[in-house]
Amino acid sequence: MLHNINFELKQGEIHAVVGENGAGKSTLVKIIAGLVPVDAGQVVFESTDRTFANIREIQNSGVALIHQEPRLFPDLTVLENVSVDRQVKEDKKKRFSWSAAEEETRRLLDDLGCSFSVHSPVKALSVADQQMVDMVSALRKRLKLLIVDEPTASLTPTEVDRLFITLRKLNAQGVTIIFIGHRLEEVLEISDRITILKDGELVTVKSKSETNEDELIRLMVGRNIDGTSEGKEIGKGGVVLRVENLISPGFVADVSFEVNRGEILGIGGLVGAGRSELLETIFGLRKRTGGRVVLNQGEEITTVHQAIDAKVALVPEDRAHNGLALNRSINENLVITNLSLTSRRSWRNFKRERVLGGELIEKFRVKLSFASQLVRELSGGNQQKVSLAKWLKRNVDILLIDEPSRGVDVGSKFEIHHFLKDSARNGMSVVMVSSDMRELIELSHRILVMRNGHVAGILTGSEVSEEAVLRLASGLTTSGKTR
């Protein structure tokens, strides 16, 4: 995965690591955290050789890694999750007590600006809140080195601000931080120095003051990406999807909107506003108690089967659980939605499957070792490409896509965006949930902003701006009062 990397960390700095997906960022930090063994080379922390130390030793020496996807215990409560790896006697004199732990956890959560109860089971929390719990589990220890692996991927702008304030506060207290990020403006905002990786090799190390976004992108991908998109002509091919007063208790409250042919409708809002649930409800995955989803020919969608038959596709946010069969090959994942194209009657035709798979792999530039490689082994960006590519051949009329570039590198993101814009031009309608403000504004013809399950507003044309979306999403009034 990595070749001959020399990585040096100065005490007290915030050091960002950037690179395309598959560049080896996660592997690098996993080696530092002791989760992945080294074949050759050395890891030295505070002038002691830590190359072969076990996870526990490394954690006890003050190193913590916060994962991309929070790794928590869904059945346990917040407090239990945070406390589970404590020692019974952490200090010589003080024994562990639940009440002290509760007080400490509550204080740490307050510091992060979290309002949920320490006694709620973790499975009842949103991904963003779960990440906060993961963070608190690490903060609890005497921390010297904090590694955060794409912490902002699923956070809303407010939550990112909150996180950065926390990171800076920790940094001021002497904690060294390694920050892995995909959003370069965030990387430039938070870090002191930036290491750029490409294909498992070190490109260079830059200090923040001597670089900018364009240069970073160039160094990462070796090609220029045109961030500002071509002119967006709004598709006016008539309404293809009409959602009327849709209700799914607890998540979606009385939502109505229309989507035109060839239009990309962005859905913005804070994490937990019910955006993913809205897509699921439209697709028939989630139980609804009211409202209708109507297609242009007047047919109604109530079940997943009807949705698929009507050429509606859903690419979910949680690729690992809903979008892909991780333990099957890339080719099988690509073919599974297209079996009707490749099979003769009920028999699979492996040759046709290989051809079709190869075509899709090429089109999306999925980086792989071989087509029968397991999807599990791909990086996040490439997994997302597979999860998108498998719908490509099905002549999808309406694509419901949830966080298309969450945890995806700049290069893949570009290709995914290109695909979405291209498909829309060719008449596909897209309903896209995104927390990435730039993506939302760049891609969408119109933006529907949700708040607490309701439609807070729909922005068109010149109304669209980052600020307008944020205002609607957070319920900000003109006086600037939050929530």
* Distance in angstroms (rounded) separating the CA atoms of residues 430 and 397: 8
- Does 65 bind another protein (CB under 8 A)? Our answer is yes
Return the residues of window 442-481 that contact another protein according to CB under 8 A. 452-453
Which listed residue (21, 26, 27, 77) binds another protein by CB under 8 A? 77
Work out how close the CB of 54 gets to another protein at its nearest, in angstroms, rounded to a whole number.
8
**C-alpha–C-alpha distance, residues 398 and 410, integer Å:** 25
Q: Which of residues 226-265 bind another protein (CB under 8 A)?
A: 249-251
Distance CA 308, CA 156 (A): 30
Among 72, 255, 335, 470, indicate the residue that binds another protein (CB under 8 A): 72
Q: Give how far Cα 290 sits from Cα of 20, 281, 400, 418, Å.
A: 43, 11, 20, 36
Binding flag, residue 56, another protein (CB under 8 A): yes
Q: Is the distance from CB of 387 to CB of 325 less than 8 angstroms? A: no
Binding another protein (rule: CB under 8 A), the pick from 93, 94, 351, 483 is: 483
**Least distance to another protein from the beta carbon of 11, Å?**
24
DSSP 47: T
- 31 or 240: whose CB is closer to another protein? 31
Residue 61 touches another protein, criterion: CB under 8 A: no
| Residue 113 vs residues 36, 68, 215, 367: alpha-carbon distances, Å | 33, 20, 35, 39
Minimum separation from the CB atom of position 96 to another protein (A): 6
The answer to whether residue 142 forms part of the interface with another protein (CB under 8 A) is: no
Minimum CB–partner distance for residue 446 and another protein (Å)? 24
Binding status of residue 73 toward another protein by CB under 8 A = yes
Cβ-contact 279, 221 below 8 angstroms: no
Closest Cα to residue 17, out of 148, 134, 128, 138?
A: 148
- Identity of the residue, 6 or 327, whose beta carbon is nearer to another protein in the bound complex: 327
Contacts of range 252-258, beta carbons closer than 8 Å, 24 or more positions apart: 252/277, 252/278, 252/281, 252/286, 252/288, 252/453, 253/452, 253/453, 253/454, 254/290, 254/291, 254/454, 255/291, 255/450, 255/453, 255/454, 255/455, 256/291, 256/455, 257/448, 257/455, 257/458
- For residues 281 and 270, is the Cβ–Cβ distance under 8 A? no
Give the angle 29-32-38 at the CA atoms, nearest 5°.
Answer: 105
120 is a contact residue toward another protein (CB under 8 A): yes
The pattern of x and - marking residues 262 through 281 that bind another protein according to CB under 8 A reads: ----------x---------
Which CB sits closer to another protein, 61 or 171? 61
Number of residues that bind another protein (CB under 8 A): 41
CB of 62 to another protein, least distance (A): 13
- Return the number of the residue (186 or 317) whose C-beta is nearest another protein: 317
Residue-level length of the chain: 483
Of the residues 41, 44, 71, 463, which one makes contact with another protein according to CB under 8 A: 71
DSSP state of 375: G
Q: Which is nearer to another protein, 54 or 229 (CB)?
A: 54
Q: Which residues form the interface with another protein (CB under 8 A)?
A: 35, 54-56, 59, 65, 67, 71-77, 79-81, 83-86, 88, 96, 98, 102, 115-117, 119-121, 123-124, 137, 249-251, 272, 452-453, 483
